[in-house]
Amino acid sequence: MKKILLLSLFLSSTALQAAHHGTHDMADMDSMGDMHSHEGHIHEQMVDGKELAVDPQRFDQFMIGIESNAVAVVSVQGMVCDFCARGIEKTFGKDKRVSKIDVDLASGKVLLAFPVAADIDKADIEKKILNNGLNTSTIQIVGR
Amino acid sequence: MKTAFIILCLLVATHSMGRPISYVGGHTIMANSGPQSDGVYWHYTPNINYSLGLDYQRDKISDESFSSARLTYLINRKNTAKSQRNLYLKTGVGLNDSDNHFYALTGDWETRRVFAGFSATQTSGIGYDMFEQTLKVGIAPYLGAYGDFHTWLMVETKKNDMDDDRITYPVLRFFKGGALMEVGYHKKTDWNLHLMYRF
């Protein structure tokens, strides 16, 4: 009985793994050729080699129309309400180097798009976040 | 005595609202309306550690008005991935008579789901003093994204040593983008409305 149970568990886990790989391959094919949120692409473009924790659908939506831009993914601490989000949007909205902003309260992530020619100054981003009374835990640059 | 009490109440009318410091360069306008007084409070944040403001209150019964200058200083802030905790020192002084003044210690802790805040305020006029304590807790029944309409269900309790009577009442807080509205009701104090806009 025990062996049958173990065998069924093994078979079902193998089937699940195979299904996951199938989805993975299809997504890889869909996202060829441009900066996209799928793991296989986004990881290639990370400069620090770390895994990027950002909602893929949200990232894709953000990249529409700015495919050639580099993106700073900023993890922010203390961002708990719309007032915080609004302050960040206003602060970075005044920065002419920033072409698009997205604030996600749920994940505590801020996406900042920069044209390829623009400098991305991490210290300046941290300072601007601090001027909103918040702290930066990590900044990851994607697409450069 | 009555005039002194009115001035003391007007002096602390808007300071119990949350978020007394904005982002650097940010302005905040608040308005309050209740059975006793109507008022407007504006503050500006030149530095993330403090804000400066002006307050104007008008007593509805006596038709007296009272204006004050205010300073809020951030003593301590702790940000985590899911929460923010603040401790502030607030002070205000009457523009017509500096003998009317207050100082307060206030604090709050907030996540996207839960809020808790307190204030302890010492208010002084000519020959009169009042000490008031407030406590406010709240919960967000649902979590909205940035830009959505947010709702908070809150309870506030306050007590001062002049009438030595604690009142506890429900407060509804709504906000969207830079605008916030709070409505509270107690049978003794009737309806209270607070509006806030940050820009």
**Do A17 and A85 share a domain, yes or no?**
no
| Residue B164 backbone zone (phi > 0: left; psi -120 to 50: alpha; other: beta) | left
**Do A25 and A44 share a domain, yes or no?**
no
**Do A8 and A49 share a domain, yes or no?**
no
Distance CA B171, CA B175 (A): 13
**Is B99 or A95 the better-scoring residue by pLDDT?**
A95
**Do A89 and A58 share a domain, yes or no?**
yes
Q: Tell me if A71 sits within 8 A of A52, measured CB to CB.
A: no
- Beta strands B37-47; A109-114: pairing state: unpaired
**Do A109 and A43 share a domain, yes or no?**
yes
Distance CA B190, CA B37 (A): 12
**Do A26 and A43 share a domain, yes or no?**
no
User: How far, rounded to the nearest angstrom, does the alpha carbon of residue A58 sit from its chain's CA centroid?
Assistant: 8
The enclosing domain of B103 has a CATH number of 2.40.160.40
**Do A58 and A73 share a domain, yes or no?**
yes
**Do A15 and A53 share a domain, yes or no?**
no
- Contact B21/A at CB under 8 A: yes
Show the domain range for A84: 35-142
Least confident of B18-22, B50-54, B130-134: B18-22
**Domain count of the fold of chain B:** 1
How would residue B10 be classed by pLDDT, with cut points 50, 70 and 90? low
**Do A17 and A58 share a domain, yes or no?**
no
**Is B125 or A81 the better-scoring residue by pLDDT?**
A81
Nearest to B148 by CA among A86, A123, A9: A86
Residue B146 is nearest to which of A105, A132, A134, comparing CB atoms? A105
Distance CA B116, CA B136 (A): 6
Show the domain range for B108: 2-198
**Confidence check: pLDDT of A36 > 80:** no
**Do A103 and A123 share a domain, yes or no?**
yes
Mind telling me how many Å the CA of B68 is from chain A's nearest CA?
A: 25
B175 to A81: CB separation less than 8 angstroms, yes or no: yes
Q: Looking at residue A6, what is its pLDDT?
A: 43
User: Residue B194 is encoded by which pair of tokens?
Assistant: 């607070």
Give DSSP secondary structure letters for A23-74. Answer: HHHHHHHHTTTS--SSHHHHTTTBSS-PPP---HHHHHHHHTT-TT-EEEEE
**Do A62 and A111 share a domain, yes or no?**
yes
**Confidence check: pLDDT of B157 > 60:** yes
How would residue A127 be classed by pLDDT, with cut points 50, 70 and 90? very high
Residue B79 is nearest to which of A77, A90, A106, comparing CB atoms? A77
How would residue A20 be classed by pLDDT, with cut points 50, 70 and 90? very low
User: Residue B29 is encoded by which pair of tokens?
Assistant: 């306008």
**Domain count of the fold of chain A:** 2
Mind telling me how many Å the CA of B146 is from chain A's nearest CA?
A: 6
Mind telling me how many Å the CA of A97 is from chain B's nearest CA?
A: 19
**Do A43 and A94 share a domain, yes or no?**
yes
